[in-house]
Amino acid sequence: MNKVAIIVAGGIGSRMAADLPKQFLPIANEPLLFHTLRKFENLVDHLILVMHPEWISYWNDLIAKHSFNVKHTIVAGGQTRAQSVLNGLEHVKSDCLVAIHDAARPTVTKELIDSTFKNAEKHGACIPVIDLKDSIREISEDGNSKAVNRSQFKSVQTPQTFQASILKAAFENKDYEKYTDDASLVEANGTPVFLIEGEEKNIKVTTASDLILVASFI
């Protein structure tokens, strides 16, 4: 099956306290997003970048400035992450495998990407997860809390990879916006999600300190 990756780069990144969205901030003298796209180069047949419409022109200027040559298709994003994924899916055929990846995870390894594709082809849906390190508590509606067993929970990463027909069918659910990620939507539509071991260094850049940590891995 052909492999497609949709890189979701529609966020503004307000928690970074920066003038630019986080995907454009420099790591090792290049925009963060360059590093993310390179991880999928030579692993997929089609690379799709979904980006907020207001930043497409800026992105094209960056490509020219740095002579960036990873081939990809640019798609305008929607108002939400789910809408952006759906916009990207419109460019994907149903008989493919499709990986959905956060643009702000530039340190994912090619080995992990390849593993999600192999397991999605076998199981229909595959996501990488890692153990929780900190203790966690459940907050009740009245504001009280109780300890819960962290061994019963996992932290979810991307890429989340699917047989495209399964993901497309899940997005036919008119309530797709209420699900926090693509795997939850697919699961709600009746497809079990296969879990594989993720990577500790597959960090999602959310804060300035994350940017410093990620730079140490590049």
Percent of the chain with pLDDT over 90: 92
pLDDT of residue 10: 75
Tokens coding 60: 């094209």
Residue 13 has pLDDT above 80, yes or no: no
pLDDT at 18: 61
Average pLDDT of the segment spanning 136-141: 93
One CATH from 3.40.1030.10, 3.20.20.300, 3.90.550.10, 3.30.460.20 for 3-215: 3.90.550.10
| DSSP assignments along 23-44, one per residue | GGSEETTEEHHHHHHHHHTTT-
Residue-averaged pLDDT of the chain: 94
Residue 15 confidence (pLDDT) = 52
CB 157 within 8 Å of CB 195:
no
Mean pLDDT value of segment 86-98: 97
- Please report, for the chain, the start and end positions of each structural domain, with discontinuous segments joined by +: 3-215
CB 135 within 8 A of CB 147: yes
Tens digits of per-residue pLDDT, 64-83? 999 999 999 999 999 999 99
Question: Per the structure block, which two tokens stand in for 80?
Answer: 């939400």
Taking the C-alpha atoms of residue 33 and residue 49, their distance in angstroms, rounded to an integer, is 10
According to the model, what pLDDT value does residue 203 have? 96
Measured distance CA(29)–CA(25) in Å, rounded:
9
pLDDT at 20: 87
Question: Quick one: average pLDDT of 153-158?
Answer: 97
Whether residue 16 contacts residue 8, with contact meaning beta carbons closer than 8 Å, is answered with no
Average pLDDT rounded to a whole number, residues 142-150: 93
Average pLDDT over residues 44-62: 97
In the block, residue with structure tokens 């990463």:
157
Burial class (CB in 10 A: 0-12, 13-18, 19+), 185: buried
The answer to whether 63 and 49 are in contact (CB under 8 A) is no
pLDDT band, very low/low/confident/very high, at 44 (cuts 50, 70, 90): very high
pLDDT of 93 reads 96
CA separation, residue 198 to residues 79, 112, 155, 195 (Å):
29, 7, 9, 9
* pLDDT of the residue at 218: 87
Separation CA 193–CA 186 (nearest Å): 8
* Phi then psi dihedrals of residue 51, to 5 deg: -135, 150
The gap from C-alpha 2 to its chain's centroid, in whole angstroms, comes to 19
Task: Report the percent of the chain where pLDDT is more than 70.
Answer: 96
